[in-house]
Amino acid sequence: MKCTEFLCFLICLVDAIGSRVEAKNVAVNYPGIQFSKDGKLSITVFSDLHFGEPEQAQGRRDADIKTIGVMNNVLDSEHPNMVVLNGDLVSCEWVAPENLNSLIDQIVAPLIERNLPIAATFGNHDASKTCSTRLMSEYMWTIKGTNGKKLSFTTSSVPGEPDQVGTSNYFVPVYSSSDGSKLAMLLWFFDSRGGRIYQPSGIDIPVDDWVDDAVVAWFRQTNDQLREQVGHDIPSLAFVHIPVHATLSFQQNGGRTGTNEPGLNEEEVGNQGDVCDSNGDHCNYNGADTPFMKALIDIGVMAVFSGHDHGIDWCMKWSKNLANDPANGNGINLCFNRHSGYGGYTDWKRGARQIVIEEDKLGKNELETWIRLEDGRISGHVTLNSTYGADHYPSVDKSKTFVS
């Protein structure tokens, strides 16, 4: 994106929120969130909520009501500072265009009630011939909390058609607890696309399932601009619905163990760049997420969080000794979310990923994360620090895996 477009986008966004843009330091005055007074930032990540499925889809009754129960239980346990909806909010292949907004209303009701800032990424089920992720994001943009404040950060910072670049590509700045104008961290959101082209009266046309190269260029350029403004690397997290291929390499090469990377490992990773046959089986990897993986490594995000694979929720350290994939990792962490919704395939126990970052540990590149289960228990609590991957943790027992 050209600099002028970047500035214009910021100004429009800030205008929409009603804040003021300073002539200098535009990017660091971008509306964002702030570490709370105790110096922490707590994020709840719901993934694969799959609202809007009829009973015939999975043979489950009242799926959406149960999913709202999951959201309320998790939020009551965690009291996060913000919520990420990490893709597949809706099973849009079942949803008529005129019914989409009422489903969004249901999804965000628990968040509005608690005045929680919301940042979404879109998944392959959010884009169907009947659902436009652009319309979804525009509708979410109007959502206000009970305090009258705008809650959604979800926007499209990379120009282009949704099927070419995706919709949910943007960042949210996180400011210091002690100084609301000091940029402490960045949260990056990416659209891994997939799904179908939006054309309500047309046929199903599949969309590529990886982060587009134009988005990767925007990511690098925007990060460089922000870095230049603050004068140093900015710690960051990334959220993208479909995981990168390095996770499948790790799983297939036997890199993952139940005590070093505790969590659900109930299926084979489905990753970006999968080209599948018409039934969605027999997928082949085409390497198209390589530029995105290289950018994640070069920029050195602390961790990348993905959903998509309902039965996986471990975190891995993408280290140098993982043979495969571009340049190997450089120690960044890649995490799965687990299934939060009662819609969508299979019946592993529902939960949501929690992320807690302490502002004064940002320099150490360290964060705490776990899965909060629907029943209130915690599963797979790990510290993503320099020794993660070598540290031993209790493995996750079956009672936290399957619905009993």
286: how many CB neighbours lie within 10 A of its CB? 15
Report in angstroms how near the CB of residue 315 gets to ligand NAG at its nearest.
12
- Residue 2 is encoded by which pair of tokens? 């050209």
Q: Judged by CB under 6 A, which stretch of 90-98, 252-260, 328-336, 386-394 contacts ligand NAG? A: 386-394
Report in angstroms how near the CB of residue 316 gets to ligand NAG at its nearest.
15
Q: What angle do CA 250, 251, 254 make, to 5 degrees?
A: 85
Question: Which of 4, 278, 387, 404 is in the footprint of ligand NAG by CB under 6 A?
Answer: 387
Beta bridge mates, 172: 187
Question: Which of 391, 395, 402, 403 is in the footprint of ligand NAG by CB under 6 A?
Answer: 391
164 near ligand NAG (CB under 6 A): no
Comparison of 226 and 367: residue with beta carbon closer to ligand NAG: 367
Comparison of 262 and 307: residue with beta carbon closer to ligand NAG: 262
**End-to-end alpha carbon distance in the chain:** 50
CA-to-CA dists, residue 97 to 136, 201, 215, 237, 327, angstroms: 10, 11, 27, 33, 43
Q: Judged by CB under 6 A, which stretch of 35-43, 257-265, 284-292, 385-393 contacts ligand NAG? A: 385-393
Number of residues that bind ligand NAG (CB under 6 A): 5
Comparison of 1 and 371: residue with beta carbon closer to ligand NAG: 371
Report in angstroms how near the CB of residue 185 gets to ligand NAG at its nearest.
20
Q: Residue 159 gets which letter from DSSP? A: -
Residue 353, φ and ψ in degrees, nearest 5: -80, 135
Comparison of 52 and 389: residue with beta carbon closer to ligand NAG: 389
Q: 318: left (phi > 0), else alpha (psi -120 to 50), else beta?
A: beta
Q: Judged by CB under 6 A, which stretch of 149-157, 202-210, 369-377, 382-390 contacts ligand NAG? A: 382-390
Q: Judged by CB under 6 A, which stretch of 24-32, 160-168, 291-299, 378-386 contacts ligand NAG? A: 378-386
Report in angstroms how near the CB of residue 366 gets to ligand NAG at its nearest.
7
CA distance 227 to 273: 30
Report in angstroms how near the CB of residue 379 gets to ligand NAG at its nearest.
16
Report in angstroms how near the CB of residue 84 gets to ligand NAG at its nearest.
24
Fill in the per-residue mask, 305 to 344: x = in contact with ligand NAG (CB under 6 A), - = not in contact: ----------------------------------------
Secondary structure (3-state) at 221? helix
228 near ligand NAG (CB under 6 A): no
Own/partner pairs, 136-144, CB within 8 angstroms, 24+ separation: 136/89, 136/90, 136/100, 136/104, 136/167, 137/167, 137/168, 139/100, 139/101, 139/104, 140/104, 140/108, 141/16, 143/108, 143/112, 143/118, 144/112
CA distance 96 to 23: 45
CA distance 386 to 227: 23
Report in angstroms how near the CB of residue 390 gets to ligand NAG at its nearest.
9
Q: Which of 267, 268, 263, 265 is nearest to 248 (CA)?
A: 268
Comparison of 294 and 381: residue with beta carbon closer to ligand NAG: 381
CA distance 89 to 226: 30
Comparison of 160 and 300: residue with beta carbon closer to ligand NAG: 300
User: 150 CB contacts (<8 Å, ≥6 apart)?
Assistant: 16, 17, 141, 143, 144
Helix (H) or strand (E) holding 110: helix 100-113
386 near ligand NAG (CB under 6 A): yes
Site for ligand NAG in 231-260 (CB under 6 A): none
Report in angstroms how near the CB of residue 393 gets to ligand NAG at its nearest.
8
* Interacting residue ranges for ligand NAG, rule: CB under 6 A: 383, 385-387, 391
